[in-house]
Chains A and B, each alone.
Chain A
């Protein structure tokens, strides 16, 4: 089976400071990987580098996405090839309705695959169906993208967009931050509904809490730019119990 994503010895820096110091990670179809770690360990940097943010420079290593060199692709081509990032801080675009934004995105991706744009009626029906996954009110479609949305509404909107774009690899960057317990459950249900044997997910989070709802196949602990522990879903529980200091101490000893 060809992996969806294969990261080998990935090093990346910003403004001359190295943040990622040799990441190795392979995701097979159908797998959900959780990436945990304390603040500043490099979790969000990993998400940004994979999505192609320009501020980061990859200094070493390779990333292969569906057999292609991911690092050689523009951010929009990564998206069109099936990579989706649920942003920790989704941006607001005044005057551009959520519906119009999604139409632009979906049709750009369809064009990339040689498909014609969806008919307006078909598109509207699809949006309504997918919004229901995250219990979003269709009234949001006509509102400017994320403008005046609460923190929870923005995160739901991210998962709704993911459902519209049907990515083969979704990276959820601290999607649980700022969510109350009800919103967390709704968002997690929306994500779980999108798990298939063919796609993969990277769930980045501080807390084990989210992983009660989105149960991962593999848990990685990132610290100081490296993956220092990999285990099953129980690893998250151990972390919850013992905190990150335990990892830091052990890793320092090993290093």
Chain B
């Protein structure tokens, strides 16, 4: 049967009731003092031994950021962030750069093992190359050699700046400009690392590429930068995962992801977001303010975003597609779960520029506890988007009666040949449904997981297999104790 693994099996694996990634590791860290100024930017750039052009780029971003105001339009509330009270640089201490895995701090390896991300290539799942980012720096990128053989570049952003400056200068900030928004500007100024991917013409990347982000240090912000370029006729599937220790204070995560798909290229970008969401009383958790955007630059190119969002105290995130090439396709599949006091304002933007461009949005919000879950989406058909087509489906599922689900769709059409369809539903997990499951011997916890996974099936099915299993488990864990 072609189904994703059944929920019962998944639940059997779920033993821990609490956020299971809440540990912190005792790794010797190099930390910068709290605070943000031009000096901070210069320090980071110097630490990375960056070329002058990169420093200038950062400084321009910093100056732009200083003139900007924090956005207040998202449907979320949180205390004012003191940007001077954050550490902008934290790195695991190391002597000289490790040449092999043997030289990496064993405690650090243990951390990733604990997260289920073995960096030892012998033990790895075949077919997934991993870039592991701990706090501000990339720790290890696996399978680099194998990828190099087919011309795929998959390396930490800091390395790309050194080794592939032409590509970085050409594309960095081309999709999300420095001044795009408050957090993108901040990221551009202080980003510390992230992943860089380049797939050459006509190459189908032979394995899934994956980046695993981990915030470990206290009081630090994480600002990673990811850039993926798929040259003509190429294909890549990229996975992103993330966790953070359980801490009482809130930590800021402001990432930028840029995707560029040239003619006939396809990028599939999947995220399972599991940052620490705060405790049941709403204390602590990550502020996840992220800008993700892709451009379908060439004709018949395709970008597909799939996200399963279960973590973070506050999320503000709209993975978007700019459909510039004729016949290009943008897709957005999302499951966003909020429980306890979590708040999420998430959705997408589909900007249709080219002719015969098509986009599809499937958003599934699940709210439980006292959480607030908003879908915010823009579909714009420019005057040039002849025969543009969009279909949006936005569903909300409520568990209990103290949570909220909100939908903010924005539809703008400047071309009369374009078609825009929007469907929205709101439903509740009813007593009848739970009782029916109970009567068949399925307990309430398992019933909720079963129902929620069914509800999210259209999105989960978009994920690569290993991630689909992970996502199902996460949905189950996130909603434990939400009924009864």
Assess whether B116 is interfacial by the CB under 8 Å rule: no
CB distance from A159 to the nearest CB of B (A): 14
Assess whether A161 is interfacial by the CB under 8 Å rule: yes
Residues of chain B in range 145-174 having any CB-CB distance to chain A below 8 Å: none
Assess whether B47 is interfacial by the CB under 8 Å rule: no
The 0/1 profile, CB within 8 Å of B marked 1, for residues 54-98 of chain A is 100000000000000000001110111000110100110111110
Contact between chains at A95 and B458 (CB < 8 Å)? yes
Assess whether B101 is interfacial by the CB under 8 Å rule: no
Chain B residues closer than 8 Å to A100, beta-carbon distance: 3, 6-7, 450, 454
Chain B residues closer than 8 Å to A165, beta-carbon distance: 440-441
Interface size class, chain A: 35 or more
Residues of chain B in range 442-464 having any CB-CB distance to chain A below 8 Å: 442-444, 446, 450-451, 453-458
Residue from A75, A84, A99, A117 in contact with B435 in the complex, judged by beta carbons closer than 8 Å = A75
Q: Is the interface of B mostly helix, strand, loop or mixed?
A: helix
Contact between chains at B443 and A104 (CB < 8 Å)? no
If A109-B441, A144-B454 touch, whether A91 touches B446 (CB-CB below 8 Å) is no
Assess whether B68 is interfacial by the CB under 8 Å rule: no
The 0/1 profile, CB within 8 Å of B marked 1, for residues 111-127 of chain A is 01000010010001000
Assess whether A105 is interfacial by the CB under 8 Å rule: yes
Chain A residues closer than 8 Å to B1, beta-carbon distance: 99, 120, 124, 142
Contact between chains at A161 and B440 (CB < 8 Å)? yes
Residue from A96, A99, A105, A117 in contact with B453 in the complex, judged by beta carbons closer than 8 Å = A96
Assess whether A246 is interfacial by the CB under 8 Å rule: no
CB distance from B362 to the nearest CB of A (A): 12
Contact between chains at B440 and A96 (CB < 8 Å)? no
Contact between chains at B454 and A105 (CB < 8 Å)? no
Assess whether A149 is interfacial by the CB under 8 Å rule: no
If A53-B435, A75-B435, A142-B1 touch, whether A101 touches B450 (CB-CB below 8 Å) is yes
CB distance from A160 to the nearest CB of B (A): 12
Chain A residues closer than 8 Å to B8, beta-carbon distance: 103-104, 107-108, 117
If A93-B433, A103-B8, A104-B6 touch, whether A74 touches B438 (CB-CB below 8 Å) is yes
CB distance from B109 to the nearest CB of A (A): 34
Assess whether B96 is interfacial by the CB under 8 Å rule: no
Chain A residues closer than 8 Å to B83, beta-carbon distance: none
Contact between chains at B441 and A105 (CB < 8 Å)? yes
Contact between chains at B442 and A76 (CB < 8 Å)? yes
Most buried by A among B3, B9, B430, B435: B435
CB distance from B287 to the nearest CB of A (A): 31
Contact between chains at B433 and A79 (CB < 8 Å)? no
Assess whether A200 is interfacial by the CB under 8 Å rule: no
CB distance from A46 to the nearest CB of B (A): 15
CB distance from A165 to the nearest CB of B (A): 7
Contact between chains at A96 and B438 (CB < 8 Å)? no
Chain A residues closer than 8 Å to B437, beta-carbon distance: 93, 104-105
Assess whether A52 is interfacial by the CB under 8 Å rule: yes
CB distance from A82 to the nearest CB of B (A): 10
Assess whether A131 is interfacial by the CB under 8 Å rule: no
CB distance from A123 to the nearest CB of B (A): 10
Assess whether B122 is interfacial by the CB under 8 Å rule: no
CB distance from A78 to the nearest CB of B (A): 8
Residue from B6, B436, B457, B458 in contact with A87 in the complex, judged by beta carbons closer than 8 Å = B436
When chains A and B are docked, how far (Å) is the Cα of A105 from the Cα of B250?
41
Chain B residues closer than 8 Å to A112, beta-carbon distance: 441
Most buried by B among A78, A80, A96: A96
CB distance from B460 to the nearest CB of A (A): 9
Assess whether B439 is interfacial by the CB under 8 Å rule: yes
Residue from A105, A117, A144 in contact with B442 in the complex, judged by beta carbons closer than 8 Å = A105
Assess whether A12 is interfacial by the CB under 8 Å rule: no
When chains A and B are docked, how far (Å) is the Cα of A142 from the Cα of B457?
13
Chain A residues closer than 8 Å to B102, beta-carbon distance: none
Residue from A85, A96, A142 in contact with B451 in the complex, judged by beta carbons closer than 8 Å = A96
CB distance from A145 to the nearest CB of B (A): 8
Task: Name the CB-closest residue of A to B9.
Answer: A117
Contact between chains at A91 and B438 (CB < 8 Å)? no
Assess whether B401 is interfacial by the CB under 8 Å rule: no
Residue from B3, B436, B443, B456 in contact with A108 in the complex, judged by beta carbons closer than 8 Å = B443
CB distance from A95 to the nearest CB of B (A): 3
Q: What residues make up the interface of A, taking CB atoms closer than 8 Å to B?
A: 51-54, 74-76, 78-80, 84-85, 87, 90-91, 93-97, 99-101, 103-105, 107-109, 112, 117, 120, 124, 142, 144, 161, 165
Query: What are 9 A-B pairs at a CB distance below 8 A?
Result: A87-B436, A91-B430, A96-B454, A104-B437, A104-B446, A117-B8, A124-B1, A142-B3, A165-B440
Q: What residues make up the interface of B, taking CB atoms closer than 8 Å to A?
A: 1, 3, 6-9, 430-433, 435-444, 446, 450-451, 453-458
